[in-house]
Amino acid sequence: MEILCFKIKGKLAHFRKYYANNTALSFTIPPRTTLMGIVAGIMGWPRDSYYEKLSSEHVQFGIRVLSPLKKSFHRLNFLNIKSLGDLTKKWSSDFRGEGGHIQTPFELVSAMNITKDDVIYQTFIMSKHSGIDTFQRIKYHFMKKSPVFNTTFGTANFSASVFDIEIIEKNRIKLVDSSKFVLIHSAIPSHLVKELKFDKEEYNNYNFVEEDMMPGDFVANKNREVRKMNRLLFSVTKNPLRVILNSNYYTINLENETINIQFMDA
């Protein structure tokens, strides 16, 4: 049992809520399907070719917020395109701006201090028995090679970078079963949480908690139909959640800290 751990940072992020038709809402953290795409891009795998080998039956993903996050709405000034015309003959076309513009709301994820800080997540990958070969390929590429495609936070213009890549060996991983309150540093599937403690009076334990339903798996390769959803509970700051779980969790020893995590698809 090994866990591949790495951090991703960028200035802005947008993880579009696929069910939003008339406005571009964003998830606060990248859904599991987005993490699959980030890994596939780094590996250089063709688009839509990796849904089955990175499915939750084979590979597990975990996510942790490392910088305080906020979301804000902005207006994008898009071209209002209703007719194409023939650009080769210089005919009238809305692509030339002749149809005017339309303002579209767009939700951004950023750090609390956008001028000084970045959006930073920490990702954890662990394989199940059926995904060992895939995990070994991912581990080798992350440790030995450079990303094949550029990493982004949702849209192509929100560039991100991967850093602090680390392999956590078996002797640094402990599976813990506890019926007491414990600090969990990663996003947690909601059905695993028996009780959440939220003390506003204790500043050091003050958490900003969100819960959201996110896509977890697609039906098959080349098919972007959502097959599985993950309801996740998470903090939008680095502060961990204080919870009682009805399942096991993982304690892992990183280079500079010891943290408790659970995977998104548990």
Let me know: does 193 contact 233? Beta carbons within 8 Å. Answer: yes
Total-model pTM: 0.90
pLDDT at 169 over 90: yes
Mean pLDDT of the chain: 90
Residue type, 117: D
Q: What pLDDT, on the 0 to 100 scale, is given for residue 24?
A: 86
Mean pLDDT of 234-252: 93
Locate 42 and state its tokens: 């780094």
Q: Give yes or no for a contact between 124 and 64, defined as CB atoms under 8 angstroms apart.
A: yes
Q: Which residue has the higher pLDDT, 78 or 32?
A: 32
Between 244 and 84, the more confident residue is: 244
pLDDT computed for residue 87 by the predictor: 59
The token duo for 197 is 């403690």
Q: Does pLDDT of 165 surpass 80?
A: yes
Using an 8 Å Cβ cutoff, are 69 and 10 in contact? Answer: no
Instruction: Provide the 10 A C-beta neighbour count for residue 93.
Output: 17
What residue ranges do the domains of the chain occupy? Answer: 3-76+106-261
Q: Write down the pLDDT at residue 18.
A: 81
pLDDT surpasses 70 at 203: no
236 or 205: whose pLDDT is higher? 236
- Per the CB < 8 A criterion, the answer to whether 144 and 160 are in contact is no
Q: Which CATH number applies to 3-76+106-261: 3.30.70.2500, 3.10.450.50, 3.30.70.260, 3.30.70.3120? A: 3.30.70.3120
Q: What is the DSSP string of the chain?
A: --EEEEEEEES-B-EE-TT-SSSB-EESS--HHHHHHHHHHHHTPPTTS-TTTTSTTTEEEEEEE-S-EEEEEEEEEEE--S----GGGT---GGGTTT-EEEEEEEEEEESSTTT--EEEEEEEEE-GGGHHHHHHHHHHHHHS--SS--BSSSTTSBEEEEEEEEE-GGGEEEE--SS-EEE-S-EEGGGEEEEE--TT-GGG---EEEEEEEEEEEETTEEEEEEEEEEEEESSSSPEEEEESS-EEEEE-SS-EEEE--TT-
pLDDT of 205 strictly over 90: no
Q: Which residues pair with 121 in a beta bridge?
A: 8, 65
Q: Say if CB 127 and CB 58 are below 8 A apart.
A: yes
166 bridge partner residues: 5
Q: How far apart are the first and last CA of the chain?
A: 16
Banded pLDDT at 200 (limits 50, 70, 90): low
**pLDDT band of 103, cuts 50, 70, 90:** confident
Compute the average pLDDT of residues 4-15: 96
pLDDT of residue 132: 95
